[in-house]
Amino acid sequence: MSRPQLRRWRLVSSPPSGVPGLALLALLALLALRLAAGTDCPCPEPELCRPIRHHPDFEVFVFDVGQKTWKSYDWSQITTVATFGKYDSELMCYAHSKGARVVLKDFFPQVTFDVAWSPKNIDRRCYNYTGIADACDFLFVMSYDEQSQIWSECIAAANAPYNQTLTGYNDYIKMSINPKKLVMGVPWYGYDYTCLNLSEDHVCTIAKVPFRGAPCSDAAGRQVPYKTIMKQINSSISGNLWDKDQRAPYYNYKDPAGHFHQVWYDNPQSISLKATYIQNYRLRGIGMWNANCLDYSGDAVAKQQTEEMWEVLKPKLLQR
């Protein structure tokens, strides 16, 4: 199985086998699992480090960061969770507390495919989507970077605006793709745009950075993780703002050089609105890009923010 296919186990969904999948996150695939049975448990709850046994039906795939290669292990080889750095060990413990042990793959592997937020030739992705859907177990719809091609005014906008996002799923379903083959991908990061001009009603004009025929794009900004956004928002000049049309949060700030910036992102409120669509249209599930965009430091405020981002995904899975 190729690396891109394995990477899809970041999805927050359950394999057909019924294995709990709430925290099959990308970072688990990126952690180099050191099979050191005698390592002290880094988790506050020792049971999270208990040996993993009695799972003969599955094998484990781990991405070794040092050697930059995938490795496959039999369950009998997995004895404990090792640590190799405070940040990673804390995130591993957090993932375990959400029900994940390792990255799982059935002996009968699933085949998945990443697709753009819409089938309408986004970024020149003109594919036979119905044929791909027929050949795959499911499609991971990347409902983010939706400003990669801006055909209207060159202004900052939401990474995944509500109506635009759901229109993409409607278009896939209109192509006779079974909703149960669609997984909604949501962003745990946003975009920071430098404003050429910031109007009183918060319209941020951005530089013209053409991309694949469009006069403007989100390349005029830079990606920022949710944890950075949460630390910056309280010191912003606007505080948290909400766009009722795009149904997304944003804020404005001024950098040390005196330039105004506008940051658009997704939070539990905006994600929950889109996640309701999953339940209503019976999509396969929901996933995120990516898990390490959150703050797992243990700080009280950060802990609450991180829990909220995970919890907004959880009910949608349980109610499918």
CATH code at position 266: 3.10.50.10
CA distances from 235 to 87, 198, 252, 253, 259 (A): 25, 18, 10, 8, 15
Please tell me the pTM assigned to this model: 0.70
- Specify the higher pLDDT residue, 38 or 150: 150
| H runs (alpha helix) in the chain | 3-7, 26-30, 86-97, 129-135, 162-174, 226-232, 268-281, 300-311, 314-318
E strands, the chain, where?
58-64, 69-74, 104-106, 112-116, 138-142, 182-187, 189-194, 197-198, 204-205, 221-225, 241-243, 248-254, 260-264, 285-289
Model confidence over 100-153: pLDDT tens digits? 443 333 334 578 899 999 999 999 899 999 999 999 989 999 999 999 999 999
Could you tell me if residue 295 is inside a domain? no
Buried b (16+ CB within 10 A) or exposed e, 95-132: bbebebbbbbbeeeebebbebbbbbeebeeeeeebeee
- Specify the higher pLDDT residue, 86 or 98: 98
Could you tell me if residue 258 is inside a domain? yes
263 DSSP β-pair partners: 192, 251
* Overall average pLDDT of the 182-189 stretch: 96
Could you tell me if residue 209 is inside a domain? yes
Domain containing 116 equals 112-281
- Are 165 and 273 in contact by the 8 Å Cβ rule? The answer is no
Least confident of 78-92, 99-113, 124-138, 177-191: 78-92
Could you tell me if residue 207 is inside a domain? yes
Could you tell me if residue 302 is inside a domain? no
pLDDT at 112: 87
Identity of residue 95? A
87 with 215, same domain: the answer is no
